[in-house]
Structure 1
Amino acid sequence: MGLETENPLEFLNQAKQALLDQRALSESLREAREQEESATRALESARKELSERKERTLKNRSEEIKKTYERQIEQIDGALKKARSQRERAKNLGVKGRIASETEPVNEENQELWRRFKAVLRKDKAPFFCGTRLYYMLFQPSGFSEFLGLFFAFLLFFLLIPIGVYLLLPERRTLYLIAVYLLDILIFGGLYVLISNQTKGKHGEAIREGRGFLNEMRKNRKRIRNIARGIRSDSSEEPYHLEDYDSEIGKAEQEREQTIREMQSAQDTFEKVTKNIITGEMDSAAQAELDQLSDQLAESSRRRSELEKREKLGEQELSLRYEQLLGKPHMKEEEIDRLYELIQSGEASSLIDAVTKLEGKG
């Protein structure tokens, strides 16, 4: 005979206490699981923080190395740019000086031709405007550029001006256009013929001689342009004595290349050696904290595992010892209290009788 038969009330008390103990065990297991999760998060957070700190530190150190050398390269580039600019300026001055030197005889010849040109016209007492290039373009043209200028002058005086005057008239008629053209031809054409007759008629020989001087000067200007073009296109820089500038530029370029090599070497050393040293030092500094968190996690996991086993054993014991007799629906404190009251009041003679009557009431 078991306790459930001999003393059902005590059996029910033990069943109720077993339920309370199992509930307390489940609550402890829940807390243990929360502690394990908290310990896991703390360990993962510490590891993540360490990883991010290492990544941030390594990135900063790498950028510091790079920036240090980039500043040096930037300074060298500035000096290199300045040296090249000075070299270019010196070359330009040399080119200008060479052009001035090699064209000096031709320029002097032009100055002499111009002096003789003026002297011829003064000697012949020609009007002052006869000594201008505009006069020769209009009345004694020579060469493509002067004939082109004369053509545009005729367009201006005998096309654009009369059309402009006609368009300004308040009333426009064909007769007015003819009148404007006739007046334009009379004024400008007459003035042109008058000036031509007055100058060429009286000073024709001097003007023709002046034309010869101007033609010679034009040829000389063309010679000057050809000389300047040849000097500018000359690939030889030997006449300009740029050796000092080339030496300075060469040294700066070598220094730049050397700095780039040093930067690459420093970066390689950082990647292969320094990074491992920094990582190792940071790992060592954080190891104590990580070990402590790992121990806490291990302890939480051990306690959780132990409580899970105890909970499982407790559930098995409840099932084998109490649930088989009371039934799963009655494995509750309030149900056990009702069974207890039925037996204590005498309404039920045994535990099975109490369960039967309770189920009948349900």
Structure 2
Amino acid sequence: MKLISSKKLTLSLSILVTILVMVISCISYVLPFHVIYIVLLGLISGILIHQISKYLVNRFLYSKIRILYKTIHDTQVIDKDLAEKVQTSDALHAVEMDVLEWSEERGSLIAQLKKQEKYRKEFIGNVSHELKTPIFNIQGYILTLLDGGLEDKTINRMYLERTEKSINRMITIVKDLEVISKLESGELKLMYERFNIIDLINEVLEMQEMRAKKNNIKLIFPQEKENSKFVYADKKEIFQVLNNLLVNSIKYGRNKGTTHIEVMSMDKNYLLEIRDNGIGIEADNLPRIFERFFRVDKSRSRNMGGSGLGLAIVKHIVDAHNQNINVSSTYGEGTSFTFTLEKAK
């Protein structure tokens, strides 16, 4: 319901009283020379009533608005400033606008807090689930060894090696969580430098060559021997971006599949693409691909190891460089990740 302004309220009251005074005067005096007297009396009465009613209404509004302002504002309201606001403006309209603005802000804040609460619960649940598997594995291996398996040469070494793998997985999860925490809090400062992105890609390819052969994936980089392409970024962090994307592509590649890496020039930036013909990602899952611990195929992903944080770290690093990263995919046909880097001057 729309509020009536204080000005309209006092003005309406004054006009009503003036009309009543004039009507009463007309009834009391019927001679023509009293007409001027009646008009003057009506005007004077109207002005007096207007000022008195304005004062009374403003004092009433001030007493109510003061309580309202102290409720909706986080800081203490200065009485002098509030009194001036009531006197110099349409108080009811001003308060209505302030309350609406406060209500919208609170509604937005509550929605944001609910979203953060949901995200926090999911995050804690995911961390617990990711750590639970290696912990239970370690517990099972150690109990088996303590129950006599330690003296059995056919299983003792095997169980110790499996225990080591589970411990390494836990270390990976903790390290990746630390990296994300630093990226989100701004503690991890980027060390910008000028470097050749072609050399860095070759370095990553060399590092992942054995993994690709094991998964029967062919790595293709047509620009392997091309002239230098210099970028301005944090070399160490971009190495991690390339490495995580390449590992992800190899993990979800098909047998005898391929992974292409390409660098394209785009005005002031280079566009880097890591493209494969693997299993692809369903359209419903694409918007969540960069979320922490999100896995397209949960059972398969956990069997392959990893922390489930690789793509989330990639997104944070690219965002920290004020650059863009995108993903496109067709389920059953393959996936393409592209991100930009600033060209070095």
TM > 0.5 between the two? no
Higher CA-based Rg: 1
Decide which structure has greater strand share: 2
TM-score when normalising by structure 1: 0.27
